[in-house]
Structure 1
């Protein structure tokens, strides 16, 4: 979609606009955008705007917030700043925005090295309402003591007001992290990178360790805020069609004019390199009656190098895709066929969200005694791959899938701009410009040329970063039937110790503090305060509803095809829908397995690995899912199975042929493959149930 430059778009590098100096202006054609990069003269705040024709405008306030302990101060502060600010002194403006806004996204995130506050809307007035409320929250929060008690933790008697009762510790983040760190998958995900960074802020639990959260004081929370939540440590990312100059003026007039520059040290140091690998063992609770057999995860992790080098990062993405990207990938296939575990650990893959990249691979559904065998299988497979090199049948699908992934406008329930935000922060947060890690097509050409010129380029990269890299950790996450009871006893003991050390006056003070908290929570916001939170009026809404272009071609009978002509960067999305409501109940129960098997099995005479590589070569993905819903205007429930294919326009025909072959001739005779699919499905369901229970 072409962009017509208006006078309000014209910005010259070196000139000042509403207190912001323009650092650079660059056309990013792959995103159909113009990138404007600014610094706020008075504070040093940096702003990056991807200006384009997209009506879904997004902003994000971003702060580097490296932790120096396990108290979860960054996480608790993320919760706390959204509990009232100077201009909007209500207890939960976030909830009010959820009710009175047409936002398309509204959230906040704590990462191991940063805290991010993004929001988006397709209505300009709403966008600025969100921006001023979020901006006031991060720069001018009230940070009441009651908020730390509520969002962090506090002690209270189980029978309120009774000093002879029993203490308990409660709090939003405290309870959240108790649940999170009792999950095997969470432990695997966090220790996969934490184990590699013991000498940096990445070695701490940024979300907070429940044993350490009580150590956070109000002074500590306030000090962390004043240290990091300042425009001099802030980056603002903006995306969409609202003119750049309008953003600059709004921010200067509403949020930034009262600040001066501060010297803030928030840079993440590099991890000193090891000379030999290490092993980390962690446990998670299971029921005392449960057998611990087959419930462990064992994962190998490598520290690769900085994520700010776009060529190396892209090269490692290609290596990751070759090794693990599909069912036919050599490392994935070797681990699954080894029988050493049930399936690949979800932590497996390349992590580019930290200052330095991490590559992880391992198995779940295994046992601790398999550690040496799993390490040997992974390292031995990598040696075999290095010796045989990367044939065209492995390299071409990997390059194709990486190109597809970067080209695709991915949403997944959130704005596409959010993906661009994460890409820009990889470099921008670590002292390069945001464009460096946003650009893709330029670096893909460089990579392809490098591979053509040096056939051993990727093999040498594999050898250097995996086989000859001693900065490697093995994490063993195993079940402990005694852990829950032991942890409960320890918590009770600590609470009794705290209670025993309190004087009568201190106990009375604790009761008084809890009464203040209850009064704070139970006292409704005043009408005057509520009216300060901006809401949309009917006149703020667009007069016309966007119409998605739709046409239909009938193929006879009840079969037809709906076409939607939209801008998709030459990607074709195809849904094949089959009604299933006529099936018997026992047959319907097999549909989840059938849907996965049809997308993951082989064909007659062609093993599933080869079919997976063919799909990777010609498509960006072939998946299936079940759907059920009511029909508008009828008392009828419609059940269906939907197969989804996405592919580049030029590869539609071979992609469709492969899908047709699978739907009409999938080979289910490979029982080992069906077992792998079933175990993967079972484990995914178990994880989703655990996450859904929080």
Structure 2
């Protein structure tokens, strides 16, 4: 970087009537009524863009982003995303990201590689920690230590010891490319965008990542992480002038102006069919892709989202129905990726035995022809539109803060050359799509415009053995020997433990005969949980409950359409409500709807609980779809499979969860030989479950909802059979080690043990184990993508690894955790970071749609304000001796661990740890 300018003494100057603040020129200002914010767009003299959304939200958001369209499949943008947060000039520690993660008040802390951009977002409700994260992230992207520490590249990207390859991103992408649909998708995109850099995979193909050279890696940073290519974003209640001055004086004044990197336009062309041969066994996959211009036509992108759902993702979608009816596959899904300048649509069919694309092509083209001629059912289309409107009204974006969601919307315009806020004006966009002619839309972008491909499984494809590159891990060995100094760590400031509120958050609620009402100020949305005790079910019935909860709200296609039309969500799930000494197995129907539609939503519930399952073809199709869904869980989320298996082998309550959603459920779903019997079982389950004696409910809403909604639910109770309470089945854990063999290139490992302790100390211990012990030993040294641990209900402890190249080594790490904690030694400042991190988890902003679940569990477990405050006091006052005591107790408890691994057959057998190996296919 070269200093090319001077810093103005006066922050605000006028240049020909234009506002310029710290070399930032205000280009556009506008009030956006839909989000109650004033938006500002600035351009710095070096070319950087800055957006500020001014409002009174205390959950502040910051991000810095760069256009990073890759020129190959080596994964440079992805490895760079990992690496720049591994120390910088002003924060010379090995892992500032981890220091922030384990010891700051944040509501979001991440970095994300997209197809053509990389974003570094943070969010916090605490202004002190927000400022720290802004400084650390900005220094990381502009002044990383990658130029002087090659070991960072070798740790995060790839390395060789001469015998095998390792590296965090390499192993992450091995896990990603274990999924056959990812392999096919990548090949199809290469054809769809051939002769364009959009054909490249920014995350990196594991076959190509080892081709990346260290100098090429550094050159990428020099080119793309330049001030002129940066887009900054601030959101919330803050002093923007302070941050304008900071960015200008500390960083941007050192950059000369360059033309901003722009994403190239692309003209669709003719395509060749893609055939991918996979040596892995399983079903075949077929896919068709479309591209449709650029993302700056926001109405078009929104309409494509809605159309994809209407024809493929809803139960009576035309393409989905035709594919399933033809027997071509068991699962159909469509995705519109408009997170990039050149968006694309993909329609995927899984669970196929077909080896020829012609039938698939014929069905797809006939469906588009029919829509181009006759249009689409308006009620169906409106039901999808309603679900999108509900989503924007509710503003529940999962773990993302609201401000971050707006950030991602704005990047769709500002990062691609449009300095306006049009992408955020959802009401205007919804009005605009009403005017789109679906017939003409399909003709222009979809009919005859597809790029088709097929993956043929079990084809014994010959894959050349690639020699392991020469040893290059010396820089990594040297890097691992480096230790952070206390002085450098101290530069990453955080709030003090003494500044943290001593009172825990308590959610007030009212109880009337086991029914719960939680009053909130809601945005015209009411949340209802209808809960049914399933203690009456026998063991074989429990293994059918998994299927029942999967199909109950979608079996009747008309009902499924009404659910989209009138509600924002309607789903069933199984759980065990746990107290100190017991548990209650329940099925919960979660319903959310606008106040004006809540009674309609409850009427839908009345329909689904008494429906018949005599459409045997429909039932069979849903079973095959569910099978595909379950298999992907084993293949792609093996960590949850592994630790839930461990818990089921030591806990009666988790044995219930395993009975409903585990391997027996999977095997049952695979058997479609007697559909009539399965239909009778579904109806029998409903008869046993839906009785008033076993029913209670939870409602979150305004005070006006309490009487009206409760009365309506009480009327439902009066009109279902009374039934009677039952003693639940006793399921005895088997305490055995189990491995699952699946088609994967990585491993997922877990252990579990009985550990009886109730204390706020455990929340801090969990933070230490997850963000230091596992992070250092499983991720940084072992090369796994991640891992975690948990203390559950005062009774159990578990640990797991995720996308892990190891099995035996990881189990050795797991088994030593007790010794690690019992011998732990750190100063007070270090310990305080873990306390703050534990508080951060507890104090995550509460969203209305989570309240029902929280108050239900607290009520069942007898949690009071006093009990919450006690746990918080224990957490805030934890000492090293408290942690060491946990370590000693864990050492004893882990003499009786159970283990579970999800991996490929060869790796499992090589580990010699498992006698019980279940092949999932």
TM-score tier (shorter) = 0.7 to 0.9
1:251-270 alignment runs, 5 A limit:
251-253=247-249, 255-264=250-259, 266-270=261-265
Once the two structures are TM-superposed, the CA of residue 117 in structure 1 deviates from its matched residue by: 0.9
Partner of residue 506, structure 1: none
Partner of residue 444, structure 2: 464
Structure 1 residue runs of 5 or longer lacking an equivalent are 1-10, 158-166, 452-456, 500-509, 602-607
Q: Partner of 1:599: helix, strand, or coil?
A: coil
| Cα distance in 2 for residues equivalent to 1:95 and 1:369 | 47
1:503-518 alignment runs, 5 A limit:
510=471, 514-518=473-477
Q: Does 1:529 align with 2:488?
A: yes
1:39-438 alignment runs, 5 A limit:
39-41=43-45, 43-143=46-146, 144-157=149-162, 167-253=163-249, 255-264=250-259, 266-274=261-269, 276-286=270-280, 290=281, 292=282, 295-345=283-333, 348-433=334-419, 435-438=421-424
1:592 and 1:250, CA in 2 relative to 1: closer, same or farther beyond 3 A? farther
| Cα distance in 1 for residues equivalent to 2:56 and 2:217 | 41
Partner of residue 615, structure 2: 670
Q: Is the CA contact 1:35–1:49 (under 8 Å) kept in the aligned structure 2? A: yes
1:34 and 1:343, CA in 2 relative to 1: closer, same or farther beyond 3 A? same
Once the two structures are TM-superposed, the CA of residue 547 in structure 1 deviates from its matched residue by: 5.7
Q: Summarize deviations over 1:388-424 as a string: whole Å, max 9, x none.
A: 2234323322332232233331232332333222221
Once the two structures are TM-superposed, the CA of residue 241 in structure 1 deviates from its matched residue by: 2.3
Q: Is the CA contact 2:331–2:350 (under 8 Å) kept in the aligned structure 1? A: yes
Once the two structures are TM-superposed, the CA of residue 580 in structure 1 deviates from its matched residue by: 3.0
Q: Does 1:17 align with 2:21?
A: yes
| Cα distance in 1 for residues equivalent to 2:164 and 2:306 | 50
Q: Partner of 2:136: helix, strand, or coil?
A: helix
1:527 and 1:71, CA in 2 relative to 1: closer, same or farther beyond 3 A? same
Once the two structures are TM-superposed, the CA of residue 115 in structure 1 deviates from its matched residue by: 0.8
1:526 and 1:553, CA in 2 relative to 1: closer, same or farther beyond 3 A? closer
Q: Summarize deviations over 1:152-191 as a string: whole Å, max 9, x none.
A: 222214xxxxxxxxx3222222222233223213224444
Aligned residues, how many? 623
Q: Is the CA contact 1:368–1:476 (under 8 Å) kept in the aligned structure 2? A: no
1:407 and 1:175, CA in 2 relative to 1: closer, same or farther beyond 3 A? same
TM-score relative to the length of structure 2 = 0.64
1:312 and 1:21, CA in 2 relative to 1: closer, same or farther beyond 3 A? same
403-412 or 135-144, which moves further after superposition?
Answer: 403-412
Q: Partner of 1:589: helix, strand, or coil?
A: helix
| Cα distance in 2 for residues equivalent to 1:363 and 1:391 | 23
1:149 and 1:325, CA in 2 relative to 1: closer, same or farther beyond 3 A? closer
Q: Partner of 1:590: helix, strand, or coil?
A: helix
Q: Partner of 1:622: helix, strand, or coil?
A: strand
Q: Summarize deviations over 1:98-131 as a string: whole Å, max 9, x none.
A: 1111212211111110111111111111111111
1:525-674 alignment runs, 5 A limit:
525-538=484-497, 540-541=499-500, 548=507, 550-552=508-510, 554=512, 557-558=513-514, 560-568=515-523, 570-581=524-535, 583-601=537-555, 608-631=556-579, 634-663=580-609, 665-674=610-619
Q: Does 1:473 align with 2:451?
A: yes
Q: Is the CA contact 1:51–1:243 (under 8 Å) kept in the aligned structure 2? A: no
1:116 and 1:687, CA in 2 relative to 1: closer, same or farther beyond 3 A? same
| Cα distance in 2 for residues equivalent to 1:283 and 1:442 | 46
Q: Partner of 1:341: helix, strand, or coil?
A: coil
Q: Is the CA contact 2:114–2:339 (under 8 Å) kept in the aligned structure 1? A: no
| Cα distance in 2 for residues equivalent to 1:241 and 1:596 | 43
1:428 and 1:190, CA in 2 relative to 1: closer, same or farther beyond 3 A? farther
Once the two structures are TM-superposed, the CA of residue 226 in structure 1 deviates from its matched residue by: 0.7
Q: Is the CA contact 1:129–1:534 (under 8 Å) kept in the aligned structure 2? A: yes
Q: Is the CA contact 2:577–2:586 (under 8 Å) kept in the aligned structure 1? A: no
Backbone CA RMSD of aligned residues: 2.5
Structure 2 residue runs of 5 or longer lacking an equivalent are 1-13, 638-747, 749-802, 804-921
Q: Is the CA contact 1:325–1:398 (under 8 Å) kept in the aligned structure 2? A: no
Q: Partner of 1:475: helix, strand, or coil?
A: strand
| Cα distance in 2 for residues equivalent to 1:564 and 1:337 | 46
Partner of residue 3, structure 1: none
Q: Is the CA contact 1:84–1:137 (under 8 Å) kept in the aligned structure 2? A: yes
Once the two structures are TM-superposed, the CA of residue 301 in structure 1 deviates from its matched residue by: 1.2
